Amino acid sequence: LGRTWLLSEDVAEKDRLRQAKEQFTKLVEMDGRFVPALVALGTIAYQEGDAEEAMRKLDLARDLATPGEDRQQAENLKLEIVKRENMRRWRDDFDRPSSRTVGNGWSQTQVGAVQPTIRDGNVVVSGRMEEAGTVWLARGEPGLNEKFISVQAGVSTGPTDHVDAYLVVFQRRGTGAGGGEVTVGAAVGVGRNQRGELVQVERKPADRIFTATAVPGADGKPRLWPEGEVVLRVERIDPEEGTFALFVNGERVGTAPVGLRQKSGTVEIGLLVTANAAEQIDVVVSGVEMIRFK
């Protein structure tokens, strides 16, 4: 019954936790060595915001468990709690007055009159391109490369847009005079190309351009960019090797080792929109969330 309450979605969160806690507590009162119930109580304690009690329950479960799945589960949950307790979540919902600059620590570039602006609580890159080029929105902070975990953004494009739109993690080499193009070293990201296909993108340190690879569907053909807002995420999975996982709407679509190792220099997060001359574009970013270690 306790497991049923944990999985139930038709009751309020607090009620769900309370009732699950009552059931698992009864099981522990009946058998103080019942490891699955102790693991469940540790999970509930953390969900209630009590990390210390969660660790106590998981320590007890680990000590009582025989080698095998139960002990490994307790260890994995402990590691996850330690990791989360050392994380810091930063988010920009762009919920501020309309402006021709994004602000809040973001740097930006423009092509002619097309640039990132704040409009209706979103970042909007909209207009007709006077010439071919790339519009950037980027953000960095001291020590980010050693602390970076993941970044995600909600992105939508116009129904007829012929644009490349990427969410990337990259090394900045410099910025052209007068807000020109950002000079990029190694980079990795995910987004769409001008044909409306989902792509994973990467740029090795010695490369001069981004390499975009179409994400294949079940039929082997390139998957298309979904309609409406698309949630893109780039997540570091191996700091030493510089390997990243790429996600679209919560689904993992690729893995890329690009040389962005944990100690390889300064990195930033960025959104870039590239289009040819005379293209009318309308790209909207509803929010960006970054998770990093404290």
- DSSP string of 17-51, one letter each residue: HHHHHHHHHHHHHH-TT-HHHHHHHHHHHHHTT-H
Residue 262: the pLDDT is 63
pLDDT tens for 54-91 read 888 888 888 888 877 778 878 877 777 777 777 788 99
pLDDT, mean of residues 271-294: 93
* Rounded CA separation 3/40 (Å): 8
Ranking 1-5, 189-193, 277-281 by mean pLDDT, the lowest is 1-5
- What does the pLDDT read at residue 172? 74
- pLDDT tens, 173-204? 655 433 455 678 889 999 999 999 999 999 88
The dihedral built from the CA positions of residue 92, 289, 203 and 200, taken in this order, carries a sign that is: negative
Model pLDDT, residue 4: 46
Give the residue from 251, 249, 246, 226 showing the smallest Cα distance to 236.
246
| Model confidence pLDDT, tens digit, residues 156-176 | 998 777 999 999 999 876 554
Please determine, for residue 240, whether its predicted confidence score (pLDDT) is greater than 90: no
How sure is the predictor about 13, in pLDDT bands with cuts at 50, 70 and 90?
low
Strand intervals (E) in 9-147: 87-92, 107-108, 116-119, 122-128, 133-140
The model's confidence at residue 11, banded by pLDDT at 50, 70 and 90, is very low
- Pick the more confident residue, 277 or 76: 277
Q: Is residue 7 very low, low, confident or very high in pLDDT (cuts 50, 70, 90)?
A: very low
User: pLDDT category, 263, cuts 50, 70, 90?
Assistant: low
Band of residue 9 on the pLDDT scale cut at 50, 70, 90: very low
Question: For the ranges 44-53, 214-223, 248-257, which has the lowest average pLDDT?
Answer: 44-53
Burial of 166-184, coded b for 16+ CB within 10 Å and e otherwise, reads bbbbbbbeeeeeeeeebeb
In angstroms, rounded to a whole number, what is the distance separating the alpha carbons of residues 243 and 22?
43
What would the pLDDT profile of 96-114 be if each residue is shown by its tens digit?
A: 999 999 999 999 999 999 9
pLDDT above 60 for 152: yes
Query: Is the whole model's pTM more than 0.85, yes or no?
Result: no
Q: What is the pLDDT of residue 82?
A: 74
Share of the chain above pLDDT 70, in %: 90
